[in-house]
Amino acid sequence: MENDHEKITTCVVCKKAQGYFFVRKNGFDLYRCGACGHISPSPFLKHDSSFSYDEDYFSGAKTASGYIDYDRDKEPMRPVFVRYMKVIESLCSGKGRLLDVGAATGFFVEIAKKIGWKACGVEISEYATEIAQKKGLDVVCGTLGSGNTLEEGSFRVITLWDVLEHFQDPHREIHLCSKLLMSDGILAISTPDSGSWYARSTGKRWPLLLPPEHLHYFTQKSIKIFLENNDFQIEKITKIGKTFTLEYTLLIASGLRNFGFLRKIVTFLKKYPRVGSFAIPINLRDNMVVIARRT
């Protein structure tokens, strides 16, 4: 085990042999590339990296990852998603079909539909898909490659909100997105920025280091190389901040330094849902929104 930490890995993004051991967390070894900054799991150890997106993930929040109540936790994000869409629309010649990958309970699909897009989604969790379908949304259960009937070359926009970091093989998924997009289609990604000031200053304690839920941690440099190698050209990288509920913010903070008392406050707030759902805008600038065009 210790010897593995001495080993140097080849970066899955820039292919340079400059990956050095960075941190062991939740039993996973993460390596950071000295050339592009990309952080990814050790290729030396075979981890069981199957992560379960079941009901607990969307409504249990027993750990610092996952959600208390997905739709309620996401509610403050509504204006943020509308801002994302304004940026996307400024790069499109019109509206059309939009696919949301990792659509969860259809929160974003519903927003896109409301502003005139023909929006649908794919979602790996049966539990979340069922909720989306009950809302009357076109969300199918599965992954991009799981034999669904999505038509190639038919989407003007594909969105991956907080999804790319979860994939075991991001190259494969982006390749599938590329096939589904129209020839000049837009890919919109939000993902943690491991090269951001906050990520670098918190280092091994960066709250978004969450293997095996998060497996790939891009930097602005590594995502540019990654997308260009997959026939996309970057149109824009922005740092639109997120907005969370008070309850969710405390939950994340309690995981950051094992502050048990914050978790107690979360439990306490459950009795006062109106206080707990109070919206807090947060911009630690450690998330990036990347918009790219298929070339």
Neighbours of 250 (CB within 10 A): 23
Q: Is 90 helix (H, G, I), strand (E, B) or coil?
A: coil
Binding segment for Zn ion (CB under 5 A), chosen from 4-12, 145-153, 166-174, 249-257, is 4-12
Say which residues have a Cβ less than 8 Å from residue 53's Cβ, sequence separation at least 6.
124, 125, 127, 128
Among 5, 23, 35, 234, which residue sits at the site for Zn ion (rule: CB under 5 A)? 35
Separation CA 125–CA 145 (nearest Å):
15
- Residue 123 forms beta bridges with which residues? 141
The one-letter code for the residue type at 40 is S
- Contact between 77 and Zn ion by CB under 5 A: the answer reads no
# residues near Zn ion by CB under 5 A: 7
Closest approach, Cβ 81 to Zn ion, in A, equals 31
User: Residue 123 is encoded by which pair of tokens?
Assistant: 């979602």
Closest approach, Cβ 36 to Zn ion, in A, equals 3
Binding segment for Zn ion (CB under 5 A), chosen from 14-22, 198-206, 237-245, 257-265, is 14-22
Looking at residues 36 to 55 of the shown chain, list those that interact with Zn ion (rule: CB under 5 A): 36, 38
E-state strands within the chain: 19-25, 28-33, 39-41, 97-101, 118-123, 139-141, 155-161, 181-192, 232-238, 242-245, 279-282, 287-294
- Contact between 98 and Zn ion by CB under 5 A: the answer reads no
**Nearer to Zn ion (CB atom), residue 81 or residue 226:** 226
**Nearer to Zn ion (CB atom), residue 11 or residue 177:** 11
Virtual torsion, Cα 225, 229, 231, 232, nearest 10 deg: -10
**Contact assessment for residue 251 and residue 261, using Cβ atoms and an 8 Å cutoff:** no
Separation CA 150–CA 170 (nearest Å):
19
Closest approach, Cβ 222 to Zn ion, in A, equals 6
- Contact between 104 and Zn ion by CB under 5 A: the answer reads no
Among 22, 28, 29, 33, which residue sits at the site for Zn ion (rule: CB under 5 A)? 33
Binding segment for Zn ion (CB under 5 A), chosen from 3-11, 104-112, 211-219, 260-268, is 3-11
Closest approach, Cβ 11 to Zn ion, in A, equals 3
- Give which of 22, 2, 74 is closest to 204, Cα–Cα: 22
Closest approach, Cβ 9 to Zn ion, in A, equals 10
**Nearer to Zn ion (CB atom), residue 36 or residue 68:** 36
Binding segment for Zn ion (CB under 5 A), chosen from 25-33, 62-70, 121-129, 243-251, is 25-33
Separation CA 10–CA 34 (nearest Å):
10
Closest approach, Cβ 103 to Zn ion, in A, equals 30
Pairing state between β 181-192 and 155-161: parallel
- Contact between 120 and Zn ion by CB under 5 A: the answer reads no
Closest approach, Cβ 223 to Zn ion, in A, equals 11
- Contact between 11 and Zn ion by CB under 5 A: the answer reads yes
Among 9, 14, 57, 98, which residue sits at the site for Zn ion (rule: CB under 5 A)? 14
User: Residue 202 is encoded by which pair of tokens?
Assistant: 């918190």
**Nearer to Zn ion (CB atom), residue 38 or residue 214:** 38
Q: Which residues bind Zn ion (CB under 5 A)?
A: 11, 13-14, 33, 35-36, 38
